Amino acid sequence: MASEPMVRTIYTDPTAPTIPPPVRTGATAHSESMVDQVKYAQPLERVHGSGLHDWGIGEGMAISATLNQPGVHVLPGIAVDTAGRHISLAETGKAEIGPDADNPAVAPNLTPVLASGAVLPTAGLNGSFFVSVRWRETFDADLWNSSNQTIFQMLHTPWLKLELAAGINDATDDGTRILLGRITLNAGNVTALTHERRREAGLPAGILKFWRGETTSGALNLKADNTFTAELRARAAGGLEVKVPGATDQIEFKRDGGNIAKVAFGADLVVGRAANGTETVVIDTAHGNITLGTQGVEGDVVVMDGHNRRVFVVDGSTASLTIGANGNEGDIRVMDAAGQPSMRVDGATGDVIFRGLLRDPAGSHAGVGHALLKYLPELTNGSLTNLHRHFNPGDASRARVDWLFTNGTNPTATLDIAFGSARAMTAYVTVAYIDPRDPFDNADVIAAEIYRVDGQDFRSFGYIFGGAQIGPDGDDANCRSPVFQGTASRITFRLRSFVNVDCIAACVVFPEF
């Protein structure tokens, strides 16, 4: 329904020179009353009802019936149609129930509206029908006749009608009349009744403001008033916002007498923000993820038992998991696909119980089962254990050995011995063979050293400088230590033979285990 122009009769004389202008005297003419009613009051009702409301049922308008008995009762209530007209089915009023009431040649068929409703007859009908109600007025012929044709009065008589369900769809259910429910009839008797296509009236608004009663008092003054408590508004970027004014205000979801059965959010993300707007808790429903914490805010998970003890704590600041508390030991249970326990860590005894094998992360051996656990005492008496002894050339507990060669043509050689990750180790280089090609004198120098550790110049264990061959202090020609002990992933060895000497050196790395 669009907006309408509105006109009303003015009952003062706007042309008079006095302020306020005088009220016009005499009786209101019929034409003036008609202007007020037809051009102002009725358009005002339609504009308000259609522009500030969505059509539908406002209150009541229930339908009821007795199973396998004829007749449908429509109870008192209020609705508004798409034109904005109010439909009031009121107790002590009347309702139109004639199926052809819109035919001017057919006399009105009015029925009283009781507390139990207005009865809509169903005799002789079969099939599925919707019960509808329309706005309608009926001229009060009885009053006109009884007043010797002096009183002209219209009665508000909502039109109740049965409409074939086959003719009702989304296009025809357009608010020109309001559907109250669906019934199925067999020879006029009601065999089924549902609330299908009942629609409640709506209220379009950009902002809904909520107020509550509040009592305030000062030293001498007392006051009871309404105070603003919340608002529901359209979000500027789309969606909905709920706002409260106070820092201690809360938003609660609850029902009288118990809990709500379920609160569901059909959202890809459910986000909790800190006071500064930082998102600190994110529930990603599309992937089933929960993220706690963000930059500047650590995330923790704390589970309490019935005695308020912290028995399960995931601490984001220390990246630690703590299970159990004083008086309530923690256990870890791992179940297999059949629901049977396959591993358990018992917090009460400190035991680890398992049904499978102990394996290394690389999966490089067959694993250690219960049959080899008899060797476990060797782990605590200082000797080697038989639980894990194997050769792995890529990431070993066995020594790595290689050779370096130099001669007059190639007087300098380097060699890397590397591992996949850092580990504790001892490394050294030793000269194994020297063959001078000319008479051996003080110019024939051999320098075997650990040149780099993880790519960094190795001088931690001392170095030698000075002389014609190994340069001043800090020069790359300085001779570093032949031994390294520490943690590293790559050792670079260097062998140099000055003047004319053939030389061979052995390079050895012992990873510790």
Instruction: Copy the structure tokens of residue 73.
Output: 């009762």
The pLDDT, as a whole number, for residue 392 is 44
The pLDDT, as a whole number, for residue 396 is 46
Instruction: Copy the structure tokens of residue 478.
Output: 């300085």
Q: How far apart are the first and last CA of the chain?
A: 86
Q: What's CA 300's distance to the chain center, in Å?
A: 19
Q: Give the 3-state DSSP-derived string for 177-207, with helices as H, strands as E and coil as C.
A: CEEEEEEEEECCEEEEEECCCCCECECCCCE
The pLDDT, as a whole number, for residue 395 is 47
The pLDDT, as a whole number, for residue 500 is 81
What are the strands, taking DSSP E only, across 219-348?
Answer: 222-234, 240-243, 269-273, 279-284, 289-292, 300-304, 310-315, 320-325, 328-329, 331-335, 341-346
Q: Is the CB of residue 416 less than 8 Å from the CB of residue 491?
A: yes
133: exposed, middle or buried (Cβ count in 10 Å: 0-12, 13-18, 19+)? buried
The pLDDT, as a whole number, for residue 417 is 95
| Distance separating alpha carbons of residues 462 and 445, to the nearest angstrom | 19
| Distance separating alpha carbons of residues 46 and 6, to the nearest angstrom | 11
The pLDDT, as a whole number, for residue 425 is 92
As a dihedral over the C-alpha atoms of residue 226, residue 230, residue 235, residue 241, rounded to 10 degrees, the angle is -160
Q: Is the CB of residue 231 less than 8 Å from the CB of residue 209?
A: yes
pLDDT in tens, the chain (513 residues): 578 889 988 888 888 888 888 888 888 888 988 998 999 989 999 999 998 999 999 999 999 999 999 999 999 999 999 999 999 999 999 999 999 999 999 999 999 999 999 999 999 999 999 999 999 999 999 999 999 999 999 999 999 999 999 999 999 999 999 999 999 999 999 999 999 999 999 998 899 999 999 998 877 788 899 999 999 999 999 999 999 999 999 999 999 999 999 999 999 999 999 988 899 999 999 999 999 998 889 999 999 999 999 999 999 999 999 999 999 999 999 999 999 999 999 999 999 888 888 877 777 667 777 766 655 555 555 544 555 544 444 444 578 999 999 998 899 999 999 998 888 999 999 999 998 888 877 777 899 999 999 999 999 899 999 888 899 999 999 999 999 999 999 999 999 998 788 999 999 999 875
3-state DSSP call for residue 49? helix
Structural domains in the chain, sorted by start: 56-194 (no CATH), 400-511 (2.60.120)
Q: For the chain, give the longest Cα–Cα distance.
A: 155
Give 421-460 as a DSSP string.
EEEEEEEEEEEEEEEESS---TT--EEEEEEEETTEE--T
* pTM of the predicted structure, to 2 decimals: 0.61
| Distance separating alpha carbons of residues 374 and 89, to the nearest angstrom | 90
Number of CB atoms found within 10 A of residue 203's CB:
9
